[in-house]
A and B are shown apart, each in its own frame.
Chain A
Amino acid sequence: MSKPKSPRGLAVNRRTFLKSAVAVTGAAAFPHIWVQQPAYAGTSARGAVKHLLYIRLGGGFRFTAAFNGESASQFNPFGLADRAASGVDWGVGRMLAEASWLQGDDGQRRRDAGMRTVPDLANQIAVLPCVDHEPNANRADGNHGTGLERYLTGYVGGDTSFFTMINYALRERAAAIQAEGGIALPAFSLSDAGMSIGHGRYASFRPPVVQGDGFEGFGFDATSSLPEWAQALSARMDARARDRQNPFARDQVDAYLQTREATRSYSSIFNSDVLRIRNNSEEAVDGISNRQLGFLLGDTRAARHVRLALRLFGFGSPACFLNQGYYDMHSGEENGLPRQMDELNRLISGLDVALKTMDHPDGGTYWDHTLVVFGSEFGRTAGGNRFNSARGSDHGGDRATRWMSMPFMGGLIDEAGMGGRMIGETDRDDLQARDRVFSYRSVLKTLMDALGGDHREFFPGDLPTDALVRG
């Protein structure tokens, strides 16, 4: 794919929007006052990332079959990829070579556009092979409910999601943009409410949860939908409903009316054609059209969410979370995993091309400013066999369940020369950790740090790690 022309002059992009938007949303979205305190336990990559794409491989992922492939067949029954890019430390599983989307005429066009198999671009991906929810625990948490609670919040019974933390951690930045009369979209969860938990002072920082593929359902604008007399009728009904209430009850009505006012300014974003990611538009925005994104990434649900995430980044959103696949294959994994991996691999390869194609308003490409991270609630085990009796895998308390071998890619990894590196190591035969083990919470804190957020309130027992940039 030749690099499309930069979208300067388009009606809607982040910069023009931020300049023109009105600041009416603050009270409802980020109502807390922040007094800056400078002492962060940060990393050398603090603030180096502007956008985080966090993708959950749903249901528990057999990491050893993909990102820690140099393991015995009981852990990786599919073996290693036949070939991989040079300079790759981590074991590139054969599953990562699945690439039906590179076949046929369309496949050739994708190759022409720069797409490659994941093994061919593995030297851009850094892997932490031993990420553990609770490094001090004597067993893994292989339970769906609590494993996912840990994944989404850091703890069992945690009541603040990671993405709520991100919005909270970045509240100062949002307030600064607001003060200049702009709007920066918050972090979003695309289709998963579990990433949007928050109570008390965190409640107003919950990321919006988007069901479906876009914002067609959010773009209501009273001034364009209602005649003036109806706007007045509606406003009076609202005011009377509010005024009738007793002082104890009035706050929540006020909150509704404030958010209702705020939706006016958001509606201009939500009504933007750029966010209609399935409109097949040829118009290049940030250097790439919606049609091109669809061609690269595909049109599966996860692919549509990735495409939407890239567009939301364009409106200043710092992070998007989404689910890809469903890997809880207690049966039929032997045949089922390649199909799911085919989609995952296309996303990795498509993101590699798309992010490098997209011009970032702050200079460089989106690749330079974005970190893409994959995780899951736990790994998977077949109890010492290649597969369980139903040709699938389960999850229990063992090391195969325990280690989440998480891959990271993006400009930060490139810049630090960490592409292809494996930070940590496991024993091939028993998966015993041979090197560093990272707490999952420290990884989350690292991501908040890379985004430049104030993470001091979260995970006080865990520190962000420099490993991704210094090895």
Chain B
Amino acid sequence: MCDNTMTPLLSGDGRDRALSGPVRLLLLSGLAVMLLYGCSESPGFDPVDPASGPGIRMAGQEPVSLSSLGPMWDAEPAALADAEPACGAACRSFCDAQGFTNPVNRALCPHTWGVGIETAPVRTSEACRRLAADLTGVLPSLSDIRRECVDERWDDVARGMIESENFVFVNQRRWADTLRYNVEVVNVERIYDADALVGRLHRGEVSYDTFAAAVSAHPVFTRRFATAEDRAEALFLMLLGRPPLGSERSDMARLLGVWSNGYVDHPELGMRVPDAYVRYRCVTDDGAIDPDSSGACTSVLWGYNPLILTPDARATRDRSGQMMWNGLLTAEEWHALQLPGRILARTSTFWEHVVDRTLLHYLGYPLGSMVPAVRSALVDHLLAHDADIRVLHYAIVTSHAYLQSTQTRDAEVPWAAGPLKQADAEVWIDSVAAHTGYRLSTCDHRISRPEDFLRVRSPFAWALVENSRWEIDGEGRLREDYRNLARNLGGCPENTVGGRFRVVSILTTSTQLNFVNRVCNPSMDDRVRGADAAALLPPEIAPNASVDPDMAEAIHEWQIRRFLGRSASDAEREDAREAGEQCRREVCRAEEFARPSCFAVLSSPEMMFY
């Protein structure tokens, strides 16, 4: 703690900054406070890792070894010749003979190859790009693809990515969207705790049903809603994918009515922060369970499930009765409060929904409801492997449905071609920036409104932002370049209402074109701080070299490899030569060709969709 908190304050986390006077003063006072605080044994607020809540306390499990699952990648079969439109005996026999090890392939066979439908071939660069974008959050260059994917088995490639911390981060960001982390609604310590819990889920340390139970009673979820009925509605939608029936809503609300919304004066942050409380219901004035009212705290639709906590010295009283701040709950009490999630996890719909949700995420269409056998096979597969959520991801991304190419003209059904998806704002921005060396700040999904913490001018609040992924400039201001760009494109959501969106509209397209224009600077505008010319040119070509068709082809090909992760086609090379010839007539330097070419490649749909 002592080292962790001192280092970033002293070194500025490795960033070169010239701090203004007031900022320096604030940081020095913060340093003094944190030295005093950080070197003590006092439990409390750690601005480097402020996670506090049920997530970090939960007992875990031994992660499933993905390599122990055996091969997940099956060779693509040729479709059964002269097949019947519906899968009969010949089809079943054909599918059995394939010996599929991937549950998606096995379940899809009677709807695809067994009935004479061909799938598209897997193209290495396309499949590798899809995997990298989905599992690690960045579109790779051709050299990345050669390093990670060429001559590798697809299950080995996918496993390597799933076992990386990038996979954990990408999924933490997804769950931030689902749970709509918002510091205006809940204590930031609970958000960090939920984020850590999501991390544990995606490292295989917590099973999905255990995770769901924890979320059902986590302040990041309960504190978002004013009433027990609203919580019941949201819990059903999140875990079962459907709204509750009237009776289900009122029954589940009996359990979720234990939560109450309040505030805590946070001594270190110097703020009054929103947080969750439990309310002692169905108890007598003496604190004993009240048999006359206990029914109001008991769910009966899925068995007899009472949820009654009894008060002790930790309780406080307000006009509505006794209550307690969630920060004082014991592990046993947290376990009791997680009853709603445990109840829903006993239903088959719970498991079907997580499968459907994951299929939809990777494929972009609802394969689970289109071919229920796939859903069923994946539920069995997940349950057979300790409900380790990574097993589900692994099976889907190594299936033919996912890996096959999008480039086919004959797809009869959606699963006979690969999925083409719009890149999330962050994936697109991060990829453009990574491949061009363009400098941008970043966004931290755990702190939706960092300015709230900077405004209070508490050293701890400042240190919280300073140690997050947000960046503060030398004048003590939040860097907003990334956030402003991402929010126009639907990313980096504040999550007050609505959250992430993914849409193609005039304004999003306009934003993308303008960003690419800024990065590539095709008009060579001196006022624009674009990417360095060296980052847009092959190493052997100097920016001021004179362009001829050969050089134009080399530059364009190099950019396609770097930005799109593939080789240029013959037609693209010819286009580049033609453009190079026109450029040569205008006495064009390499940089003057590279920048417009950069614009053409980065603004192409191939960069937006993968």
Contact = CB atoms under 8 A, between A and B. Distances in A.
A220 B510 contact: yes
A210 B511 CA distance: 10
Interface stretch (A201-209, A288-296, A421-429): A201-209
Interface in B484-506: 484-485, 487-488, 490, 493-494, 496-498, 501, 503-506
B452 to A, nearest CB: 8
Interface stretch (B103-111, B373-381, B402-410): B402-410
Contacts of A193: 487, 490, 493-494, 498, 501
A248 B407 contact: no
B305 interface: no
Given A237-B600, A247-B411, A253 B509 contact: no
Interface in A228-257: 228-230, 232-234, 236-238, 240-242, 244-249, 252-253, 255-257
A149 interface: yes
A144 B571 contact: no
A270 interface: yes
A93 interface: no
Contacts of B490: 193
B371 interface: no
A262 B485 CA distance: 20
B606 interface: yes
Contacts of A232: 575, 578-579
A145 B496 contact: yes
B568 to A, nearest CB: 10
Contacts of A29: 505-506
B596 A230 contact: yes
A413 B183 CA distance: 38
A153 interface: yes
B422 interface: yes
B407 A246 contact: yes
Given A161-B498, A263-B513, A218 B507 contact: yes
Contacts of A229: 578-579, 582-583, 596
A28 interface: yes
Nearest to B184: A144
B506 A25 contact: yes
Contact of B272 (A238, A245, A392): A392
B256 interface: no
A206 B490 CA distance: 12
A301 to B, nearest CB: 11
B234 A157 contact: yes
A217 B600 contact: no
Given A152-B497, A330-B272, A392-B272, A217 B224 contact: no
A229 B592 CA distance: 12
Given A218-B507, A246-B406, A328 B184 contact: yes
Contacts, number: 223
B407 A149 contact: no
Contacts of B234: 157
A28 B505 contact: yes
B224 A146 contact: yes
A145 B180 contact: yes
Contacts of A157: 233-234, 237
B263 interface: yes
Interface string B417-436: 10110100000000000000
Contact of B603 (A147, A234, A394): A234
Nearest to B422: A252
B505 A204 contact: yes
A95 B572 CA distance: 66
Contact of A146 (B230, B509, B510, B578): B230
Contacts of A204: 505
B576 interface: yes
Interface in A41-98: 59
B517 interface: yes
A196 interface: yes
Nearest to A146: B226
B597 interface: yes
Given A142-B226, A148-B496, A230-B596, A262 B506 contact: yes
B83 interface: no
B414 interface: yes
B576 to A, nearest CB: 7
Interface in A133-155: 141-149, 152-153
A248 B504 contact: no
Contacts of A141: 226-227
Contacts of B575: 232-233, 236-237
B479 to A, nearest CB: 13
Interface string A19-40: 0000001001100000000000
Interface string A347-366: 00000000000000000000
B544 interface: no
Interface in B277-310: none
B185 interface: yes
A181 interface: no
A219 interface: yes
A282 B608 CA distance: 41
Contact of B506 (A28, A144, A237, A247): A28
A259 interface: yes
A211 interface: yes
Contacts of B207: none
Interface string A384-399: 0000001010100100
Given A144-B185, A193-B490, A270-B510, A206 B579 contact: no
A331 interface: yes
A221 to B, nearest CB: 9
A248 B401 CA distance: 14
A256 B487 contact: no
B359 interface: no
B506 A259 contact: yes
A331 B406 CA distance: 56
Taking each of B234, B514, B601, which has the highest tally of chain A beta carbons within 10 Å of its own beta carbon?
B514
Contacts of A266: 506, 510
Nearest to B261: A143
Contacts of B572: 236-237, 240
Given A193-B490, A194-B496, A255-B504, A227 B605 contact: no
Contacts of A16: none
Nearest to B500: A193
A192 B576 CA distance: 42
Contacts of A194: 494, 496-498
B517 A220 contact: yes
A395 B407 CA distance: 55
A179 interface: no
B137 interface: no
B605 A146 contact: no
A244 to B, nearest CB: 5
Contacts of B182: 144-145
B501 A233 contact: no
Given A245-B406, A263-B513, A256 B600 contact: no
Given A212-B484, A246-B406, A227 B596 contact: yes
A331 B51 CA distance: 24
Ranked nearest first, the 9 interchain pairs of A and B with the lowest CB-CB distance are: A230-B596, A194-B497, A249-B420, A143-B226, A234-B600, A208-B507, A330-B272, A229-B582, A211-B484
Given A229-B583, A233-B597, A246-B417, 13 more contacts: A141-B227, A147-B226, A152-B497, A197-B498, A208-B507, A224-B523, A233-B600, A236-B575, A237-B600, A253-B609, A256-B504, A260-B603, A390-B272
20 contacts: A29-B505, A148-B497, A152-B497, A156-B233, A193-B494, A193-B501, A196-B501, A208-B505, A208-B507, A218-B514, A219-B514, A222-B513, A226-B599, A227-B583, A229-B596, A244-B406, A245-B407, A246-B420, A248-B411, A256-B509
Interface of A: 25, 28-29, 59, 141-149, 152-153, 156-157, 161, 192-194, 196-197, 203-204, 206, 208-212, 217-220, 222, 224-230, 232-234, 236-238, 240-242, 244-249, 252-253, 255-257, 259-260, 262-263, 266-267, 270, 328, 330-331, 390, 392, 394, 397
